[in-house]
């Protein structure tokens, strides 16, 4: 694929691990200068150092994407150091706690929405303005299969990712006159730290072991395996590249053929009985 990414400047949020780190690797390997933004200063520095050791350019930035001030500071630092921003990939996100909506605490709802949706909004707003002024750019937001096929017991996560898709489509329409492409990617089950949090909780609601839950999910995927972070990073590369010039406002599902899971949980799980 002729990506045309050599020398481009990219910001990747949530870049220290999982899909975010795989995205940093993929972009850097194509010649991008990558600003790796992550809430963990230590993990971000370690991830950037790993890429630097292989001869790739990666600059770490410790950023909480829920802070308007810190997001603006990130943009200012990248502009000062690298001169422009050509690509934004929003990978920052938090895993939900698995709990019925009728027993969900407001604090949990707020925690998930603040990072997954509000954080994406802040980054898109600040960098979208910059890209409109320069009349070029690519924005890629990582959503989830849950955005189009909401699973039971994770309402805050479902809503946050559906919001990311709606935000993506709205911004795509608004920035189209400025030649800025805005798209989302909705991954299915991918082997990351996210599922280390969610899978044990899912298993507990079914009364099975974590390993059995993981196998149950694998068996439901038509292509027969869990995804890897690199599977999503490859899709990011395509949407960031010159090969996707006439694509905007789309939600690309990358899920091994899986279209979603909509099984209803047991009554006692919903009511917290037993």
Tens-place pLDDT, residues 72-118: 999 999 999 999 999 999 999 999 999 999 999 999 999 999 999 99
What residue ranges of the chain have pLDDT lower than 70? 1, 262, 274
**Domain assignment of residue 2, yes or no:** no
Q: Count the neighbouring beta carbons within 10 Å of the beta carbon of residue 118.
A: 16
* Whether 130 contacts 88, CB under 8 Å: no
Check residue 54 and give its pLDDT: 87
pLDDT digits (tens, 9 = 90+) for 47-68: 999 999 989 999 999 999 999 9
Q: Tokens representing 254?
A: 């990358």
Report which of 24, 29, 23, 25 is spatially closest to residue 6, judged by C-alpha positions. Answer: 29
Residue 105 lies in a domain: yes
Distance, in Å, from the CA atom of 60 to the CA atom of 42, rounded to the nearest integer, reads 10
Number of domains comprising the chain: 1
**Structure confidence at residue 260 (pLDDT):** 85
- Name the token pair of 181: 């492409």
Contact 181, 248 (CB under 8 A): yes
The catalytic residue positions are: 157
User: For residue 248, what are the domain limits?
Assistant: 9-257+265-271
Considering the domain boundaries, does residue 206 fall inside one?
Answer: yes
Output the pLDDT for position 1: 67
Specify the pLDDT at position 197: 87
Residue 3, in any domain of the structure: no
DSSP 179: T
Task: Look at residue 1 and tell me if it is in a domain.
Answer: no
Radius of gyration of the chain (CA): 19
pLDDT at 69 (0 to 100): 98
What is this structure's pTM? 0.96
Q: What angle do CA 168, 173, 176 make, to 5 degrees?
A: 110
Give the pLDDT confidence score for residue 274 in this predicted structure.
Answer: 53
Residue 126 covered by a domain: yes
Residue 35 lies in a domain: yes
Residue 123 within any structural domain of the chain? yes
How far apart CA 39 and CA 239 sit, in angstroms, is 25
Question: What CATH number corresponds to the domain at position 105?
Answer: 3.40.50.720
């Amino acid at each position: 694929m002729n990506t045309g990414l050599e020398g481009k400047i990219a910001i990747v949020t949530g870049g220290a691990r999982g899909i975010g780190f795989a995205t940093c690797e993929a972009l850097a390997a194509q010649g991008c200068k990558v600003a790796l933004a992550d809430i963990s200063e230590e993990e971000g520095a370690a991830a950037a150092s790993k890429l630097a050791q292989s001869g790739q350019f990666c600059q770490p930035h410790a950023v909480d994407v829920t802070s308007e001030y810190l997001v603006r500071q990130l943009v200012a630092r990248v502009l000062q150091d690298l001169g422009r921003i050509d690509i934004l990939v929003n990978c920052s996100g938090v895993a939900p706690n698995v709990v019925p909506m009728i027993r969900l605490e407001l604090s949990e709802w707020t925690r998930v929405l603040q990072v997954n949706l509000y954080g994406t909004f802040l980054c898109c707003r600040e960098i979208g303005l910059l890209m409109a002024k320069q009349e070029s750019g690519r924005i890629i937001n990582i959503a989830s299969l849950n955005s189009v096929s909401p699973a039971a017991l994770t309402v805050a996560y479902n809503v946050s990712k559906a919001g990311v898709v709606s935000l993506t489509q709205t911004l795509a329409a608004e920035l189209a006159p400025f030649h800025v492409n805005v798209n989302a990617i909705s991954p299915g089950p991918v082997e990351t730290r996210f599922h280390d949090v969610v899978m044990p909780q899912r298993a507990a609601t079914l009364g099975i072991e974590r390993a059995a839950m993981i196998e149950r999910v694998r068996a439901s995927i038509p292509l027969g395996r869990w995804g890897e972070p690199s599977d999503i990073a490859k899709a990011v590369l395509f949407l960031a590249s010159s090969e996707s010039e006439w694509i905007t406002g789309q939600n690309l599902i990358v899920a091994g053929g899986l279209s979603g899971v909509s099984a209803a949980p047991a009554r006692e799980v919903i009511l917290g009985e037993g």
